């Protein structure tokens, strides 16, 4: 049996914060604001995984009001999500994700992000595609006020 899931996430960018994206720290003068490390790509992937498995969403599983999750490395949340997915007998067929941000250029970081997240999820890195787009200077993405990430995942019952 195959199950598809979709996830999206948005975070504000703020000067002077660490910029965590795709499980790695990216050098930049701004970083994302959030209760956890605010890794928008991981959060979109988690929501896609939970959605595909019928396990609700990231806010339900890992509430942003819980002290337990304050400042947490999102890779820990992704690993916990994988436990939930596997408990239900699902395995990842593939994930396709897009990050929308104006700056910095992140193309050179994508292989490291894919390898990092594949290792956390326990899958081959070629099952995870990460793409990047700018906002063409339009809207909150284009004004560098925030970033968004989108992910589609296909699960198969193992």
In whole angstroms, the minimum distance from the beta carbon of 36 to Mg ion comes to: 7
Return the residues of window 24-43 that contact Mg ion according to CB under 5 A.
43
Return the residues of window 42-101 that contact Mg ion according to CB under 5 A.
43
Contact 81, 122 (CB under 8 A): no
Per CB under 5 A, the list member of 5, 7, 9, 82 interacting with Mg ion is 9
In whole angstroms, the minimum distance from the beta carbon of 148 to Mg ion comes to: 10
In whole angstroms, the minimum distance from the beta carbon of 39 to Mg ion comes to: 7
| Whole-angstrom distance, CA of residue 96 vs CA of residue 40 | 14
Contact 37, 73 (CB under 8 A): yes
First to last CA, the chain: 8
Residues that bind Mg ion (CB under 5 A): 9, 43
């Amino acid at each position: 049996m195959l199950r598809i899931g979709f996830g999206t996430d948005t975070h504000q960018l703020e000067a002077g914060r660490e910029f965590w994206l795709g499980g790695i720290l990216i050098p930049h003068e701004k970083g994302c604001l959030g209760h956890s490390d605010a890794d928008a790509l991981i959060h979109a992937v988690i929501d896609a995984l939970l959605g595909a498995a019928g396990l609700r969403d990231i806010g339900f599983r890992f509430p942003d009001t819980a002290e337990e999750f304050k400042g947490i490395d999102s890779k820990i949340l992704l690993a916990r999500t994988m436990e939930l997915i596997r408990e239900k007998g699902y395995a990842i067929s593939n994930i396709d994700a897009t990050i929308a941000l104006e700056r910095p250029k992140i193309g050179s970081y994508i292989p490291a992000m894919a390898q990092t997240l594949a290792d956390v999820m326990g899958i081959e890195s070629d099952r995870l595609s990460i793409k990047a787009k700018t906002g063409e200077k339009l809207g909150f993405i284009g004004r560098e006020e925030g970033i968004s990430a989108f992910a589609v995942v296909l699960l198969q019952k193992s």
